[in-house]
Structure 1
Amino acid sequence: MRRLACTACAMLLAGAGASHADFERPTLNLYGVTGAIDTPTALDQPEGELALTVGYFGNITRGTLSFQGLPAVQGAFRYTRFGGLNLQDEENYENYLDRSFDISIRLLKESRFLPAIKVGLQDFAGTGFSSAEYVVATKTFGDRLAVTAGLGWGRLGSYKPIGSLGERGETEVGKGGNFNIEEWFSGDVAPFASVIYRPTDRLTLLAEYSSDIYELEQGTDRSDRILTRDSPLNFGVTYRVNNAATLGAYYMYGSEIGVKVSFVGNPNRPPVPASVGPAPPPLLARPSRQAAPDKWVETWAQNPRTQSVLLTALDKVVEEQGLEIESFEVISPNVVEVRFRNSRYNANAQAVGRMARALASTMPASVETFRIVPSVVGLPASTVVIRRSDLEALVYAPNAAAQLNAVAGIEDARASNPGASLNPDMFPRFDWSIGPYAQRLLFQPSSPFRYSVGVRAGATYEPRPGVVLSGSVTKRLFGNLTEDTTESNSVLPKVRTDFKKYNEEGDPALQTLTAAYYFKPGPNLYGRVTAGYLERMFGGLSTELLWKPVQSRLGLGIELNYVKQREFDQQFGFRDYSVATGHVSAYYELNDKFDVRLDVGRYLAGDVGATLALSRVFDNGWRVSAFATKTDVSAEEFGEGSFDKGISVSIPVAWFTGRPTQQSLSTTLRPVTRDGGARLSVDGRLYGRVNGYHEDGLDDQWGRVWR
Structure 2
Amino acid sequence: MRRLPADPFSDERNARAAPKKGAVRLASFALFTATLAAPVAAQDVDDRRMPGLSSYGVPGHIDMPSAWALPDGSFAFTLNQFGRDIRRATMAFQITPRVTGVFRYSYLDGYLMSGDSLYDRSFDLRYQILTENPDGWRPALSVGLQDFGGTGIFSAEYLVASKTLSETVSASAGIGWGRFGSYGSFSNPLSILSDRFNDRGSFTGIADTGRVGFDRFFRGDAAVFFALDWQATPRLQLSLEYSSDAMDQEVARMGYRHRTPVNLGMEYRFDNGGIFGLSVMHGSEAALSYTLVLDPTRPSAPSGHESAPPAISRGSAATVASWGDISGSPQREALAEALSDQGIRLDGLSFGGGTATVAIRNQQWPNTAQAWGRTARVLSAVLPAEITRFRIRSMDRGLAVRDVTLTRQDLEELEFAPDGAWQIYARADIRDAYTPGPGAPGQIGGPDPRLDLESQASLRFLPYTETAMFDPDNPLRMDFGAELLGEWSPGNGLYFSGAIRQKLVGNIDTSTRVSDSIQQHVRSDAALYAKTTGPKLAFATAEWFSRPGPDLYGRVSAGMFEKMFGGISGELLWAPVERHYALGIELNYVKQRDYDGGLGFFDYDVLTGHASLYYDFGGGYLAQIDAGRYLAGDLGSTLTLTRRFGNGFEVGAFFTLTDISFDDFGEGSFDKGITISLPLSWVTGKPTQQRLGQVIRPIQRDGGARLSVRNRLYGLTRDETDAARGIGWGRFWR
Q: TM-score, normalised by structure 2?
A: 0.89
Which secondary structure state, in structure 2, belongs to the residue aligned with residue 250 of structure 1? strand
Native 8 Å contact 1:50 1:265 kept in 2: yes
State the AA in 1 paired with 2:104. Answer: R
CA displacement at 1:142 relative to structure 2? 3.9
Deviations 1:656-705 (A, max 9, x none): 33322222221111111100000001111010111210256651101111
Give, in whole Å, the separation in 1 of the partners of 2:32 and 2:361: 28
Structure 2 vs 1, CA of residues 529 and 702 (structure 1 numbering), >3 Å: closer, same or farther? same
Match of 1:504 in 2: 531
Q: Within the alignment, does 1:172 sit opposite 2:197 as a pair?
A: no
The 1:9/1:495 distance shift into structure 2, 3 A limit, reads closer
Mapped contact 1:21–1:198 kept (Cα < 8 A): no
| Secondary structure, aligned partner of 1:700 | coil
Question: Would the aligned equivalents of 2:186 and 2:223 in 1 still touch at CA under 8 Å?
Answer: yes
Q: CA deviation at 1:422?
A: 4.3
Aligned to 1:148: 172
CA distance in 1, matches of 2:722, 2:287: 50
Shift in alpha-carbon separation, 1:310–1:173, aligned structure 2, 3 A: farther
**C-alpha contact (below 8 Å) 1:506/1:570 kept by paired residues:** no
List per-residue Cα deviations over 1:66-99 (Å, max 9, x = no partner). Answer: 1011111111111111111125x4xxx9211221
Q: Which amino acid aligns with 1:617?
A: R
Cα deviation digits, residues 432-456 of structure 1 (max 9, x gap) = 1112211111123443222211111
2:56 to 31, 48, 56: 31
Verify: 1:56 aligned to 2:81, yes or no: yes
Q: Does 1:401 align with 2:425?
A: no
Q: Which amino acid aligns with 1:267?
A: P
The equivalent of 2:717 in structure 1 is 690
Matched to 1:254, the amino acid is G
Q: Which residue of 2 aligns with 1:117?
A: 141
Q: Structure 2: where are the runs of 5+ without partners?
A: 1-29, 189-196, 440-447
Judge conservation of contact 1:551–1:695 (CA < 8 Å) in 2: no
Bigger shift: residues 503-512 or 593-602? 503-512
Among 118, 131, 135, which residue is 2:159 paired with?
Answer: 135
What is the CA-CA distance between 1:508 and the residue it aligns to?
2.4
Deviation at 1:465, TM superposition (A): 4.1
Deviations 1:489-522 (A, max 9, x none): 0000000001121111254211111111111111
SS of 1:277's partner is: coil
1:197 counterpart letter in structure 2: W
**Residue number in structure 2 paired with 1:443:** 470
User: 1:312-323 counterparts in 2 under 5 A?
Assistant: 312-323=333-344
Runs in 1 of length 4+ with deviation above 6 angstroms? 1-4
1:544-563 → structure 2 map (5 Å cutoff): 544-563=571-590
8 Å contact 1:85–1:226 — kept in the other structure? no
> Does the 8 Å CA contact 2:303/2:686 hold for their aligned counterparts?
no
Asked if structure 2 preserves the Cα contact closer than 8 Å seen for 1:211 and 1:232, the reply is yes
Does the 8 Å contact 1:532/1:539 carry over to 2?
A: yes
Secondary structure (helix, strand or coil) at the match of 2:105 reads: strand
- Deviation track 1:369-412 (CA, whole Å, cap 9, x = no partner) reads 21111211222221111122211122122311111111101111
In the alignment, what sits opposite 2:191? none
One-letter code aligned to 1:569: D
Amino acid at match of 1:15: Q
Is the CA contact 2:108–2:117 (under 8 Å) kept in the aligned structure 1?
yes
Contact 2:509 / 2:530 at 8 angstroms: preserved in 1?
yes
1:207-259 Cα distance to aligned partner (Å, 9 max, x none): 2111111111112xxxx425222221211222222233222122111111111
Q: Which moved more, 1:670-679 or 1:193-202?
A: 193-202
One-letter amino acid matched to 1:65: M
Matches of 1:506 and 1:609 in 2, distance apart? 36
CA-CA distance at 1:5 after TM superposition? 4.0
Distance, in Å, in 1 between the alignment partners of 2:69 and 2:238 is 18
The match for 2:103 is 77
Aligned ranges 1:302-701 → 2 under 5 Å: 303-305=324-326, 308-330=329-351, 332-415=352-435, 417-418=438-439, 420-423=449-452, 427-505=454-532, 507-694=534-721, 699-701=726-728
Letter in 1 for 2:708: S
Q: What is the alpha-carbon distance in structure 2 between the residues aligned to residue 237 and residue 479 of structure 1?
A: 40
Task: Letter of the 2:203 partner, please give it.
Answer: T
* Counterpart contact for 2:675–2:695, Cα < 8 Å: yes
2:67 aligned with 1:42: yes
Tell me the equivalent position of 2:235: 202
Aligned length: 684
Residues 1:100 and 2:122 aligned together: yes
Cα distance, 1:306–1:665 mapped onto 2, change above 3 Å: closer
Q: Comparing 494-503 with 165-174, which one deviates more in the overlay?
A: 165-174
Q: Deviation digits for residues 95-131 of structure 1, max 9, x if unmatched?
A: 1122111011111111221211111010112222211
Distance 2:705 2:149 in 1: 20
Q: Provide the C-alpha distance between the structure 1 equivalents of 2:32 and 2:255, rounded to a whole number of angstroms.
A: 31
* 1:140-186 deviation line (CA, Å, top 9, x unaligned): 13442221111000010011103224100123341221222232101
Q: 1:562-597: CA deviations, max 9, x gaps?
A: 000000101110001000000000111012231110
Partners in 2 of 1:4 and 1:232 — Cα distance? 29
Letter in 2 for 1:180: G
The farther-off stretch of 679-688 and 259-268 is: 259-268
What is aligned with 2:27? none
**In structure 2, how many angstroms separate the alpha carbons of the residues matched to 1:433 and 1:264?**
35
CA RMSD of aligned residues (A): 2.1
Q: Cα 1:2–1:323, aligned 2, differ >3 Å: closer, same or farther?
A: farther
- Is the alpha carbon distance of 1:386 and 1:496 closer, same or farther for their aligned partners in structure 2, counting shifts above 3 Å? same
Show structure 1 runs of 5+ residues with no match.
Answer: 288-294
Structure 1 residues 536, 274: closer, same or farther in 2, change over 3 A?
Answer: closer
What is the alpha-carbon distance in structure 2 between the residues aligned to residue 342 and residue 618 of structure 1? 20
The equivalent position to 1:215 in structure 2, one of 239, 248, 267, is: 248
Percent identity, aligned pairs only, is 40
Instruction: Report the CA distance shift for 1:690/1:363 in structure 2 as closer, same or farther (over 3 A).
Output: same
Contact 1:412 1:524 in 2 (8 A): yes
